[in-house]
Amino acid sequence: MYHFRNDYSVGCHPAVLEALAAVNQESVIGYGQDDYCKKSADLIRELCHAPQASVEFMIGGTQANFTAIAAFLRPWESVISPVSGHINGHESGAVEATGHKIIPVHTPINGKLSPTLIRPVLQECEDTHLTKPRLVYISNATETGGVYTKAELTELSLFCRRHGLILFLDGARFGCALTSKVNDMTPADIAELTDAFYIGGTKNGAMMGEALVITDPALQGEFFRMKKQRGAVLAKGWLLGVQFYALLKDGLYFKIARNAVEVAQYLQGGLKNLGIPMMVDSPTNQIFPIVPNTLLPHLDELCSYEVWGKADDDHTVIRLVTSFATPLASADGLLKAIKDLT
């Protein structure tokens, strides 16, 4: 059985476990005020060429999203998000539970936003009987594997700054975005072009944890009280600092993300060669083959995967995901098995 269900179905990278074990007996100050978090935050500021940034270690993506958004916005302000944005469809109304409307915007299938798509929302919301859009939420990579180019993110960033919009980037799959072939950005580029973003740990080598980077100093104030209020302060906060330090201190984070991307790309290429088309051409660790329904029972025995949706009466879009821990052999094995079937 090959595992392609998602990128959070194994524990952490062995180096991370080792790092956690190494400090396990130490007495450390709580609530993220420790030296591991400090060192890790310094490392991230350096990596992002953003000495002014604050780095906040959060436990998970949903928590990072709603805590940041609620901290940044005033009550009458709203969020512009792709319809496919994780906050819009998969977080059980977490942003709305903090009191803010999400304005969903239809995008191309790659899930990417652009000024052209946002402009009509701004125009409509000039009517003061509506909320004031104030934050643009994007993901890199998107839910369908879309990766922003530097040109695209620059255009979006300039547009947001001109219109007083906060640009917030969900980086749950930051590693795979930045190691995909179409990427032409560094972490420093992301930091420069956004007002806040996060470096996802959960889906790339950590047990849990996202490193939220708030690059705009105007958005940083009293964030500790906010985190505490939203359950985002881990008593043993160093657990997060230790993990990010292990992942980032010598580039392990990007090395393992690259593995995930390469295996997925190998699998995508192989499937195409077998005549299986893709819903979208994804350059990341998530791929979306359109398979004949008759293949599904066989796939059920071969591998774990998720059904993404119906393509037509006879075909289904499935999602295959690789992670830092997926060996190339799994892709190979699956390809061979499918070839044998067809």
Site for its own copies in 187-216 (CB under 8 A): 202-203, 207-208
Considering beta carbons, is residue 313 or 340 the nearer one to its own copies? 313
Dump strand ranges (E) for 59-209: 77-82, 102-105, 132-139, 166-170, 196-200
Q: Distance between CA 50 and CA 188 in Å, rounded?
A: 7
Considering beta carbons, is residue 203 or 319 the nearer one to its own copies? 203
**Which residue in 28, 25, 50 sits closest to 213, CA to CA?**
50
Considering beta carbons, is residue 185 or 214 the nearer one to its own copies? 214
Mark residues 239-258: x for contact with its own copies by CB under 8 A, - for none. Answer: x-------------------
Report whether the peptide linkage leading into residue 141 is cis, meaning its omega lies within 30 degrees of zero: yes
**Which residue in 147, 207, 135 sits closest to 171, CA to CA?**
147
Taking CB under 8 A as the rule, does residue 328 contact its own copies?
Answer: no
Q: Using CB under 8 A, which of 92, 126, 312, 313 touches its own copies?
A: 92
Q: Using CB under 8 A, which of 109, 117, 131, 186 touches its own copies?
A: 131
> Tokens 């098995």 appear where?
337
Q: How many CB atoms lie within 10 A of CB 64?
A: 29
**Which residue in 23, 58, 43, 338 sits closest to 196, CA to CA?**
58
Mark residues 41-60: x for contact with its own copies by CB under 8 A, - for none. Answer: ------------------xx
Considering beta carbons, is residue 41 or 59 the nearer one to its own copies? 59
Q: Distance between CA 339 and CA 111 in Å, rounded?
A: 31
Taking CB under 8 A as the rule, does residue 220 contact its own copies?
Answer: no
User: Interface residues for its own copies in 109-128 (CB under 8 A)?
Assistant: 127-128
Q: Distance between CA 323 and CA 5 in Å, rounded?
A: 10
Q: Distance between CA 25 and CA 2 in Å, rounded?
A: 37
Taking CB under 8 A as the rule, does residue 319 contact its own copies?
Answer: no
Taking CB under 8 A as the rule, does residue 287 contact its own copies?
Answer: no
Considering beta carbons, is residue 127 or 250 the nearer one to its own copies? 127
Residues 6+ apart with CB under 8 A from 208: 59, 60, 201, 202, 240
Residue 248 CB, nearest distance to its own copies (Å)? 20
Taking CB under 8 A as the rule, does residue 167 contact its own copies?
Answer: no
Considering beta carbons, is residue 208 or 280 the nearer one to its own copies? 208
Taking CB under 8 A as the rule, does residue 186 contact its own copies?
Answer: no
Q: Using CB under 8 A, which of 117, 130, 252, 280 touches its own copies?
A: 130
Taking CB under 8 A as the rule, does residue 292 contact its own copies?
Answer: no
